[in-house]
Structure 1
Amino acid sequence: MSGPLEGKNALVTGASRGIGRAIAERLAADGATVAVGYATRVDAAEEVVRAITADGGRAFALPSRLGFHGDADALWAAYDRLIPEHSARPGVDILVNNAAIGSSPELDVLAEDEFDALFAVNVRAPLLIVQRARKRLHDGGRVINVSSGTARLAMPGIMAYGATKGALDTLTLNLAQLLGPRGITVNSLAPGIVDTDTNAGWLREDPGAQAWAGSLAALGRVGRPDDISGIAAFLASDDARWVTGRVIDATGGALLGV
């Protein structure tokens, strides 16, 4: 039996590890041909491709370093060059803007270049990627912007990061209105604390960190990458055809009682 995304092409930025990898693997398991976006770790991206193909899926590594002028054009040029080798279908059906700088310094030490880099990768790149994608996106397509629970929760220690995700949610709202006439849905997916290698330094090494982080969620544990990828798979599917312009909270109910 073919999967619900059989015959579709998907592009996931920042897919060489963590949440991005889990989303890429899930979309491939559901039948899509997946472009595994990576910035510098081609070895990590190729490992994701090997894992997908070993399970019978279709995927290829896609260079997609973000944060510089011309990054969206470079990404799509690489995609246009590589997709014919892996799919008979041109264009793209599912675009997941996952790549991001995942934290920010505290206000007292935040430098201008750090602030600019955050917005270049987390906000400007997704917007321009969608802008350039419009002629490639099939009608009825899907855009999923990976946001964060920090866009709605006060966390002063990483406020600049949270601000980028708030901006991304605003882009989601407007892009949904703009692309809606073509049947293209645009949604934000907002994880909370997820056990990935990005968080390994504090979440796995501090004995009390897991318990503390889990206590923030109504569901009583830290998130896993597959918790997020399952929601992404729903948003990418036809079952989500009537959901657009929304921020889907994927924090496990973080701080509901606050």
Structure 2
Amino acid sequence: MTVSGEERPAWREVGGRVVERAAGGTALARLETLARTSADPIGWRFRQPAAALFWWGSGVRELRLAVDGRPFHDVVTATTSLCYIPPDTEVTGTFVIDGLCRYTVLFLDPDLAADHDLPAPRRALVGFDRPPLVRALRELAQEAAEPDETFALFVDGVARQSLAHLVRLTRDAAPEPPSAGLPPGTVARLDAHVRRNLRDPVTVGTLAAVAGFSPRHFLRSFRRSTGVTPMRWVLDLRLREAEHRLAGTSDPIGVIAADCGFSHPQHLSTAFRRARGISPSEYRAAL
């Protein structure tokens, strides 16, 4: 594989313990399949001269990343199991696993797109779905376990197929009509993501990444679907959880505030009074 243009420092640091590994490749692409174990979130620091297409096959539950400084926090599901990192893109963060995870990464020659007179995809895609790509990577991972004289053909074929899908995804991702809302199931996925991470700060950019849209498209579609802004919706989720905790536990209000994502008890009290007409302590006393 060749590297065009000015070379930048490259690194690849991944935590956990590797228990299985298979690798192989050609001039167009290199495939690696790995299994890692860890009881803790796995630290990840990554920048490579080649484009990298990841398929989180099993055991990876969520990603907490910064991609060239842009935060991504995504729950990994069957429909968010792909991740594309353009060449020379810096990734830092962690991924949470179920003790053991298996994943596949296909490194693509950065000149492959130019060789086909195509624009190289330059936008990172975290947590997306493309069933033909998943099928191709799954088959390629199986071939890597017992490669024969045809393995190089499989690698080159999947490399070209992957490039075609990535170019289409990054070039032709046209926004839906203004009247369109979020696809079925996306609001439920956002709900599960926020509830799982109530303590953490939430931004429109984070929610848009989970939904798989640009922030501008996400804002328009989200309001069309829910009738409120994303931040208002997140606040309502936090308040409903605080209300549930006030009614069902004896936890101090300060603990509830922190667990529900409020910066301090007064923040919860102000938001709660504005929404419910009484303070958290008054609400608990009235039960």
TM-score when normalising by structure 1:
0.29
- Larger Cα-atom Rg: 2
Higher relative CO (CA 8 A, sep ≥ 6), structure 1 or 2? Answer: 1
TM-score when normalising by structure 2:
0.26
Judging by fraction of residues, say which structure has more strand: 2
Judging by fraction of residues, say which structure has more helix: 1
